[in-house]
Chain A
Amino acid sequence: AQTVTQSQPEMSVQEAETVTLSCTYDTSENNYYLFWYKQPPSRQMILVIRQEAYKQQNATENRFSVNFQKAAKSFSLKISDSQLGDTAMYFCAFMKRGAQKLVFGQGTRLTINP
């Protein structure tokens, strides 16, 4: 079974700083997808970024980028020029190709301070 581990329960940075959230996963699969979701205080889950395991190039979405290290089974999220609206819980998630199930980590609570 796949597991996803987020080792940082909470993080706090100043506005405009860059912050990196860590995620590691355990799987014997070779084809899979990785995701970062954001859950603001409203509690609606919002997809931030996705990475296909077969792609070597790291995914980027505006201020959000990932560092995908397949051999190390690591998938970190970097938020550049952090904004107050980035304050949220961030969840890393794994999905085996062809499956329907998203396996989530426990989340990292990120606070951006003014």
Chain B
Amino acid sequence: SQTIHQWPATLVQPVGSPLSLECTVEGTSNPNLYWYRQAAGRGLQLLFYSVGIGQISSEVPQNLSASRPQDRQFILSSKKLLLSDSGFYLCAWSLAGDNYEQYFGPGTRLTVT
């Protein structure tokens, strides 16, 4: 069966510091991968998605970036965090092709101070 991991689970970072959140998927090959952000009390907003190694699509222009160095690894980064980057970050995966069910990881709670 497939599993998705995210780390760290929680993170407190000062404004202006860099960020790296990691997501890995096990039990499947060539998945579609996604990064979402959930602000407090709100729904999820898609930030980035990837349909293959090195292929990144951005949905929301901001100071965040994403990379996919390996087939089942997805990284969310920032060079300098802003206060507005605080939130709950969720990674998700889906099978490639015509299957639209997305399965989410446990999430990372980021607080920028």
Contact = CB atoms under 8 A, between A and B. Distances in A.
B43 A47 contact: no
B46 interface: yes
B106 A100 contact: no
Interface in A41-57: 42-47, 50
Given A100-B32, A100-B34, A101-B49, A107 B42 contact: yes
Contacts of B90: 45
A107 B107 contact: no
Nearest to A99: B100
A104 B44 contact: yes
A33 B105 contact: no
B26 interface: no
Q: Which residue, of A4, A33, A37, A100, has the highest number of chain B Cβ atoms within 10 A?
A: A100
Interface in A21-51: 33, 35, 37, 42-47, 50
Given A42-B106, A104-B43, A47 B101 contact: yes
Given A100-B51, A101-B49, A45 B43 contact: no
Nearest to B57: A100
Contacts of B7: none
Contact of A44 (B43, B102, B104): B104
Contacts of B101: 35, 47, 50
Contacts of A84: none
Given A42-B106, A45-B90, A95-B100, A102 B32 contact: no
Given A4-B43, A33-B100, 19 more contacts: A37-B104, A44-B106, A44-B107, A45-B44, A45-B90, A47-B103, A50-B101, A91-B43, A91-B44, A100-B32, A100-B34, A100-B51, A101-B49, A102-B36, A104-B43, A104-B45, A105-B43, A107-B42, A107-B43
